[in-house]
Structure 1
């Protein structure tokens, strides 16, 4: 493990605080942690030769402490590639937080964004901001002694939840069906399986088998991971309508707004997309273009909770449904604060990283009563940490 302790004068990073300032950030820690997966995982991007199987996930953790002793923790992540780059950029911009009032989250987000603006205002630059922004919201809710959902203003105390991790294309069909049974026994509220094979007849067989196992009415989603062209998506989407799917996810390239809009207008099945987009602006184009029925933002990818809340507001105004991607430990709170009934994606992959567990009951994930986001890093997460750097005064 690499450790360092670099002190930077807060006057360099922030303007002198005004009379309204009640606290200031004195210490920031950034860590790179590598989570190994139990077995390699493949979706359609692997079968089409565009990506290699997923074997590990890189996490960037940010820990923030203020003069008054308030603390917050947040994280971002990267699959397959980009983790070391995110960590490097996070270290570059971390000193910007020192001396700032932790209450001024929107102001701090903009400062962090402009600190790396020459690299763009989406992609890696925004993803490197996310751990800090999420940590500040965690800190704010902890200081208020409220779960983040309650700080934001919850519409519900639980969110309907579906499972993805049992339906990857690398999983044989008989095991997919076993996973379906296990998920239902564990109280899951919906099942999503991967599609997008070069031979759509294989996809059809798998979807048919899962629908028969689930029976009519149980929520079933499919995810093509951007692997179809417009004609395939249109034709195969029509064939899939007999299975009463809750949605078809990422049927086309993530940036094909016109194509997704055409599918959303022509198919009876809802279209879901947005997980690969990395800014509020990109999601705004998707929503304003009427390109989806379910928007699927990912707070660690778009830059944190601050831009995610903007996406939520626009989605609500546009009448779109919400189904955040991955990171249920964060998205549970955000989905609970969305006006329309959302969906939450369940992944057990991250459980070894945290000391706490979320509770699933009757198809819904329960909002915990713990302050903030309600999680802390486990000893296992610390053991998987490969690099850390600190800025400011060590608490």
Structure 2
């Protein structure tokens, strides 16, 4: 059997072209976002196989993820890289004192993704094909051009450009302290894009229950694909009440950090669209557990962020999913996803199909090498 011989961990500070603001900034709960902290894991085996995985943190948590990964990664040395499920459990128990969600499992996620990438590369298959793909392309919508710091004219220009590049839908941010500002922006975007373009909105958890009900009713006229995070991410009962009262689908899940937290949303019937994030819930191993539960409840899957990972996972989901298009991570990799006709198309490259760029390596701020003793 092949054995894991080395693990390289690195933190990369990815600068964003402009400071990003959503509703959480306008309500004073967060600062504008200027960078994303990436955690990369590169795993090598005695037989010469390699795999690369990554996770990320926004605004805070990057150093914590790196520190935890450095502590637990030695437990992989000498192990069979095929045993991904067992290794996930081993890593969880290695850091059991800090729990099974949050920064601890987000550190595991980068290692878990690297193991899956290694397995698919060794098989000579794209990850989606290894998992059992239902399709070779996935519907995609853009989020990166629709933030609240941008004037509505800029949002429309961004949307028009992304649609011309092949993106299939547009999501814009709402949750402005003035609800009329939100409605005016949505009305203008819908008018300029037309009724045929799939349009979503995202309140980033900034409405209370009465506001969400009022805004949900007011937004019905725009034929939205979904309303995302109208309430606090952990308010399963409130989301369920909203989902029952509106025609527009309710979407949530990106801020949750475990399968169990998502299961609570599903148990309450709180969402029509489930939005897990593999790096946030512990990696691909955990994502597959959640996807099986979501499929049993006939939910639409729309993974959050990290499309380089999620296009593979969405392609392996039975029901037609969506994948979120962000261009923020482009500088980190040598490859670009193929986007046309409203869909992201799987590459034929094995594994995730991405290679860390030299530019990304130049942004490295922390690095650790774990070897066979």
1:142 maps to 2:126 = no
1:164 maps to 2:143 = yes
Name the CA distance, whole Å, in 2 between partners of 1:159 and 1:269.
22
1:154 maps to 2:133 = yes
What CA deviation, in whole Å up to 9, does each residue of 1:184-203 have, x standing for no partner? 11111000000001100000
Partner of 2:292: 313
Question: 12, 16, 21: which one pairs with 1:42?
Answer: 21
Partner of 2:370: 391
Name the CA distance, whole Å, in 1 between partners of 2:206 and 2:82.
42
1:375 maps to 2:354 = yes
Question: 279, 288, 299: which one pairs with 2:278?
Answer: 299
Name the CA distance, whole Å, in 2 between partners of 1:339 and 1:140.
22
1:247 maps to 2:226 = yes
TM-score by length of 2: 0.99
1:237 maps to 2:216 = yes
Name the CA distance, whole Å, in 1 between partners of 2:9 and 2:232.
33
Partner of 1:4: none
4+ aligned runs moved over 6 Å, structure 1: none
Question: 314, 319, 335: which one pairs with 1:340?
Answer: 319
Partner of 2:309: 330
1:98 maps to 2:77 = yes
Partner of 2:100: 121
Name the CA distance, whole Å, in 2 between partners of 1:177 and 1:298.
27
Name the CA distance, whole Å, in 2 between partners of 1:361 and 1:217.
17
What CA deviation, in whole Å up to 9, does each residue of 1:207-226 have, x standing for no partner? 00111111112100000000
Partner of 1:266: 245
Partner of 1:10: none
Name the CA distance, whole Å, in 2 between partners of 1:226 and 1:279.
18
Matches within 5 A, 1:174-185: 174-185=153-164
Partner of 2:236: 257
Partner of 1:112: 91
What CA deviation, in whole Å up to 9, does each residue of 1:140-181 have, x standing for no partner? 000000000000000000000000011100001111111111
Partner of 2:111: 132
Aligned length: 373
Matches within 5 A, 1:6-45: 22-45=1-24
Name the CA distance, whole Å, in 2 between partners of 1:308 and 1:61.
18
1:353 maps to 2:332 = yes
CA radius of gyration, larger in = 1
Partner of 1:72: 51
Partner of 1:57: 36
Q: Provide the secondary structure at the position in 2 that maps to 1:277.
A: coil
Name the CA distance, whole Å, in 2 between partners of 1:212 and 1:100.
57
Partner of 1:209: 188
Structure 1 residue 393, shift from structure 2 partner: 4.2
Structure 1 residue 99, shift from structure 2 partner: 1.0
What CA deviation, in whole Å up to 9, does each residue of 1:311-352 have, x standing for no partner? 100000011110000000000000000000000000011000
Partner of 2:202: 223
Question: 182, 193, 208: which one pairs with 2:172?
Answer: 193
Name the CA distance, whole Å, in 2 between partners of 1:177 and 1:144.
43
Q: Provide the secondary structure at the position in 2 that maps to 1:236.
A: helix
Task: Tell whether the 8 Å contact from 2:77 to 2:372 is kept in structure 1 after alignment.
Answer: no
Structure 1 residue 286, shift from structure 2 partner: 1.1
